[in-house]
Structure 1
């Protein structure tokens, strides 16, 4: 074990090949996933997991250790994983800005009682099942942690983790399938948007409880009150002060440069993103919330959104996302599931997640007038978790709410609930607007247009 001063040249010698490898396996994984009819993100996530201790380390322990955590002269042990973690967090901040920027608040205008019922059930039932499951699993799974989270915080987090829907991935799937304009897609996107907006609020609440924890597993009421007050003040500042000023500046910069990006524009955005992220980190509700809020307050600026999509998203997706998935893979340890209790916990979590989302939305959709096949499609779409779930569980890990075993269980749940979406939607597509769905996203019959009065729309 080498300790002491870090030599930048030695660090770069080990870091750059690792980064090249991570980007390469992510692209390869995404390519394979697309060929199998799955979203790219599924392959990228699995590539990250295969890179981690669950696969590569088991097959080649010495090589894995030297490649991911070398301890040589000029590079103390633990340095490279720390750099990867920092890059992963920076990428997460930028990704959350993009997600906020893409968030269409018009979807929050509920189009009917059917949509409201699907959204409410799709949030409440999995949240309740997750919270109840957390009460059962808290003791057995957190007892090995150096500082176990209080039961209420753990249960609250489990509820949030179960109730999330991957809105960005869901939107991309519907576009790729060529069904984004159908009534089923519209209702699914609306319901997912409402669920995700609620999920971010709940996740911020979990972060607040985790930071307000004091010795003995209790909470400081004054800390919670201060955090809530600062959060509301920051929200007001962003909405009523930063938003109009930032919108004016970005419009002026775009007009000055004939709608093209400029260094000044990107600099203004980066300063605001990182400043807001630092502010929410200081408040105690995690840096990503500031980044998400920065994107959300600019979501109405469509010209800006298009420019950012062209110039920032590609880089974040190509470079930072593979690092994030690799970071997830390094933390995913299938070995932590050895034993009866962890395996039963994994089965219970997966079962509760699927029953809560798919089952809950299915029942709500049937009750509001959708056919059996349509209700199943809506339930499956809402059951897609993917990247958003990984973001949530990374927050839980950073807050010290999740043990290693539960982190691994939730990663598995995120992958399984996403992988099952495409084949099962095809299974129920006959007789619906999704009939004839193909891998290339085309529909042989022209069924993209929604009916005038879909069930639950009025």
Structure 2
């Protein structure tokens, strides 16, 4: 090396050395290949060989990336179109998954649908579906964590006397009506393998859901989020979400457990809640105060995600589903802290743009509208939509009038609480994965979620047009 630090040009002797090394490597490898002929190798395991042979014909990465690309592209196009007509973007994203599934694309051209998710002949092990399901479940866990991060517990507390009364009334009435409806649906849409108690409880909870994130988006888009109606609606939806997810955790515990295990799961759930509220929440608040003082919120991010995964894993092991742990852990972090805002900003786009489309693809694949055949089945579907709407609207309307709200505000609040959207789909996928509901009932409930969410914006525009502020 010269004084200036530059490297001298190599000598011409380097080329023969390189050629000798190349020839030596080829010769040694040839000798190794000849030596293997003297080795004894055990016979291949037949079962492992069969699995390997079946998986050779499907490229999981290609199918997963193709499916995500199609759902993201079509979903964003439909989301833009639905936003143009005043509807939530999530409607377009859900419909994109249904269009690419067996209900539409599969009915028109099964071969085209199998470009995204191959059939059992090509993928007998279901590797593509399993991979998509992992991405979808991770996306839902992260999404529910973000929902928990944005939950304003202080606002719920300030309007507690109104929010609790209205939200619980909006849960109790559809819950009861869902149980009554189960008496009609159970003999037709279920089987003896599913206990009636699990079926009725799940149907009742599914009728009681309100989509807090979709409701918040509708209010923000219409400039109502800071109005009296908006503040009450958000408080009610937040209280509704917390109560409904606790109910879902109970229902899943009952469905997962044998009679002897039910008490154990209930006790474990109560213990988990006690630890999260009594131990984890104070620790998080103290830790956030320290990290804010030290200006180290970003370094705290990985530790928060570890805590999120541990909380989700704990509830999954208990038997009440990982999303409950994610939601509860997110709600333990103050929504207005720098850490919560930083995590929300970092996660929201990745979760909603990349991970959730896998959930919409799985939902679309599971939604088989073609299973709803005959006038009686469509009447059942209409009855589900009607009962869900009457339960939410009626319960909210009566409670709102009881606490002193006027008729117009009470009716608008009832319409908003009838929004179900993505939260309902999460609940339905939990029920389908546990085999509590059949694919046919799942399709009916998906249509109910779409119908009730689609009805919100146009009816709300008639009930509260004067409260929409001008935009600067």
What band does the TM-score fall into relative to the shorter chain? 0.7 to 0.9
Aligned equivalents of 1:247, 1:94: Cα separation in 2? 21
Structure 1 residues 305 and 8: alpha-carbon distance in aligned structure 2, compared to 1, 3 A threshold: farther
CA offsets per residue over residues 172-201 of structure 1, 9 Å max, x none?
211221111211112212222222211111
CA offsets per residue over residues 115-155 of structure 1, 9 Å max, x none?
44422321111111011111221111013xxx632111111
Deviation at 1:247, TM superposition (A): 4.3
Q: Secondary structure at the match of 1:109?
A: helix
- 2:149 aligns to what? 101
- Aligned counterpart in structure 1 of residue 357 of structure 2, from 317, 322, 325: 322
Q: Is the 8 A contact 1:53 1:330 kept in 2?
A: yes
Runs of 4+ in 1 over 6 A off after TM superposition: none
Q: Which runs of 5+ in 2 are unaligned?
A: 1-48
- 1:261 aligns to what? 298
More helix per residue: 1 or 2? 2
Q: Secondary structure at the match of 2:224?
A: coil
- 1:347 aligns to what? 382
- 1:217 aligns to what? none
CA offsets per residue over residues 219-245 of structure 1, 9 Å max, x none?
x1x311111121122222223333344
- 1:39 aligns to what? 88
Residue 123 of structure 1 pairs with residue 135 of structure 2: no
CA offsets per residue over residues 60-108 of structure 1, 9 Å max, x none?
11121243125788x6551111111111111111111111111111243
Aligned equivalents of 1:287, 1:319: Cα separation in 2? 20
- What is the number of residues matched between the two proteins? 422
Residue 422 of structure 1 pairs with residue 452 of structure 2: no
Q: Secondary structure at the match of 2:298?
A: coil
- 1:454 aligns to what? none
Q: Secondary structure at the match of 2:51?
A: coil
Aligned equivalents of 1:7, 1:237: Cα separation in 2? 47
What TM-score does the superposition give when structure 2 sets the normalisation length?
A: 0.83
Q: Is the 8 A contact 2:285 2:334 kept in 1?
A: no
Q: Is the 8 A contact 2:175 2:204 kept in 1?
A: yes
CA offsets per residue over residues 256-286 of structure 1, 9 Å max, x none?
5x46624xx3321222111211111111111
Deviation at 1:112, TM superposition (A): 7.1
Q: Which runs of 5+ in 1 are unaligned?
A: 214-219, 447-458
Q: Secondary structure at the match of 1:37?
A: coil
- 2:12 aligns to what? none
- 1:69 aligns to what? 118
- Aligned counterpart in structure 2 of residue 309 of structure 1, from 314, 320, 344: 344
Structure 1 residues 301 and 118: alpha-carbon distance in aligned structure 2, compared to 1, 3 A threshold: closer
Deviation at 1:37, TM superposition (A): 1.0
Q: Is the 8 A contact 1:231 1:283 kept in 2?
A: yes
Deviation at 1:299, TM superposition (A): 3.2
Aligned equivalents of 1:178, 1:283: Cα separation in 2? 42
What TM-score does the superposition give when structure 1 sets the normalisation length?
A: 0.86
- Aligned counterpart in structure 2 of residue 80 of structure 1, from 113, 120, 128: 128
Residue 22 of structure 1 pairs with residue 71 of structure 2: yes
